[in-house]
Amino acid sequence: MVEEVAVAAGTMRVRGESAEPVPLVHVTREEVQRLDTRIGELNRVLGGGVVPGSIVLVGGDPGIGKSTLLLQMADRLAAQGHVVLYISGEESPQQTKLRAERLGVAAESLLVLAETDLVRIRHHVARVRPALVIIDSVQTVYHPDVASAPGSVAQVRECTAHLMRMAKEQGVATFVVGHVTKDGAIAGPKLLEHMVDAVLYFEGDRHHAYRILRAVKNRFGSTNEIGIFEMKDTGLAEVVNPSAHFLSERPTGVAGSTVVASLEGTRPVLVEVQALVTPTSFATPRRMATGVDPNRVALLLAVLEKRVGLFLQHHDAYVNVAGGVRLDEPAVDLAVVVSVASSFRDEPTDPHDVVVGEVGLTGEVRGVSRIEQRVREAHKLGFRRVIVPAQNLSGGWDPPPGMRLIGVRTVEEALEAAFGR
């Protein structure tokens, strides 16, 4: 329960000189010059760079690298001559300096402020006139007119509204760090995500080096793009070729391993799908999946039992996507099916094969989008065969030299192509 204090309705207009309705066809579009962060993976997720006057919410688990990424971005922008104001409500300027020295951040126009009072923050922003403001974090900022503790629903909502007005009125890009709950959702009211222009989630295991930046909302770009980083001693480094990194530790000649060409936005990524099928001593076998939808895996196991004849009702099945990546598109269905069948039969697949396709309940293999990009990515990494839906071979395009495409219409044909050789 949160106490709500009734206040007089304000008349402040967020943007625009006139409130009169105008025909949409008469509205002129302004050319917006985005700010180049000099971090290619971050630019990709943002849609090409930082839009002036936008407000971006960045969430993620503690210690995942949110502050590190934003401090590196601030340094790159400040090195180009832009004034950047980094406002920390969790660290003192001395603590921020220690982290900056470790990351090699030393730009002259990067200003640091330790403040949590929103009125004072707006005063400093109006005085400094920065191109970028970073608030770390919104749960530590409070407005003195709101009679509740920092981090409460009323404070987070009111502070975000003031930051949004500040960004729109002054044309300053604002990045806001948000805490997350134990379930992984951003803490506070859901209204927080509705108010901002973009919501970025920083994902990954703290005990692994790879981090994935994903946009779940973006008014200025696609929400399908991901950025991949590697955590090092000197900060976050971009992963230019994620497919090579995800497959660098792939074992060869082991049953239950299959490579799939997944599409994340406009980027094809080759990832290893692993499966382990073992006899169970319980009445109900276990079905566990990491990196893919567990319900989808259960559906594919039922297809294998009904359409192929693999009796999995007395076996535990575990499916994992190596590298900590989460695959949401249906094009990974066929790779999961081949991996499970490989582990069940204890027969390895060809290490030079890539499997792509969506599986239906009747055992048919459906076509996928942008098959040319997936095949080119596989060819670039040295793979020689790609098992694809037969529907994708009717487009009239030629595969790269040395690459063989095998079209399949059913799951039985796919397994025969994968193990028959």
* Structural domain count of the chain: 2
Domain that holds residue 89: 32-240
Which of the 8 DSSP states describes residue 306? I
The answer to whether residues 201 and 271 belong to one domain is no
Give the pLDDT of residue 16.
Answer: 47
**Secondary structure of residue 4 in the 3-state scheme:** coil
pTM (2 d.p.): 0.79
Measured distance CA(228)–CA(71) in Å, rounded: 17
| Closest among 279, 249, 251, 277 to 337, alpha carbons compared | 277
Domain match, 226 and 342 both: no
Residue type, 185: A
67 marked among binding-site residues: yes
Whether residues 236 and 270 share a domain: the answer is no
For residue 411, what is the domain's CATH number?
A: 3.30.230.10
How far apart CA 396 and CA 108 sit, in angstroms, is 56
Is 394 flagged in the annotation as binding? no
For 194, list phi and psi in degrees, rounded to 5: -75, -30
Which amino acid makes up residue 361?
L
- Residue 11 maps to a domain: no
Q: Which amino acid is at 12?
A: M
pLDDT digits (tens, 9 = 90+) for 318-370: 999 998 788 989 999 999 999 999 999 999 999 999 999 999 999 999 999 99
Is residue 154 located within the same domain as residue 299? no
The answer as to whether 6 is a domain residue is no
pLDDT band at 203 (very low <50, low <70, confident <90, very high): confident
Residue 381 is assigned to a structural domain of this protein: yes
Q: Greater confidence, 267 or 133?
A: 133
- In whole angstroms, what is the distance from residue 192 CA to residue 159 CA? 10
Whether 9 shows a pLDDT value over 60: the answer reads: no
Of 240, 260, 283, the last residue of a domain is: 240
**306 known member of a binding site:** no
End residue of a domain, out of 193, 216, 240: 240
Q: Is 406 annotated as a binding residue?
A: no
Q: What is the pLDDT of residues 81-128, one digit of tens each?
A: 999 999 999 999 999 999 999 999 989 999 999 999 999 999 999 999
- Which of 240, 273, 290 marks a domain boundary? 240
The answer to whether the annotation marks 151 as part of a ligand binding site is: no
Strands 267-279 and 257-264: antiparallel
What does the pLDDT read at residue 8?
53
Instruction: Quick: pLDDT tens for 228-249.
Output: 899 998 899 998 888 988 898 8
Query: What's 227's domain CATH number?
Result: 3.40.50.300
Is 328 annotated in a binding site? The answer is: no
Please tell me whether 65 is known to bind a ligand: yes
Question: Edge-to-edge, what's the strand order for the sheet holding 198-203?
Answer: 110-114, 84-88, 132-136, 173-178, 55-60, 198-203, 210-218, 226-232, 235-238
> pLDDT tens digits for 148-195?
889 888 899 999 999 999 999 999 999 999 998 887 788 878 888 999
Both 176 and 318 in one domain: the answer is no
89 is in an annotated binding site: no
For residue 2, being part of any structural domain is answered with no
- 8 within some domain: no
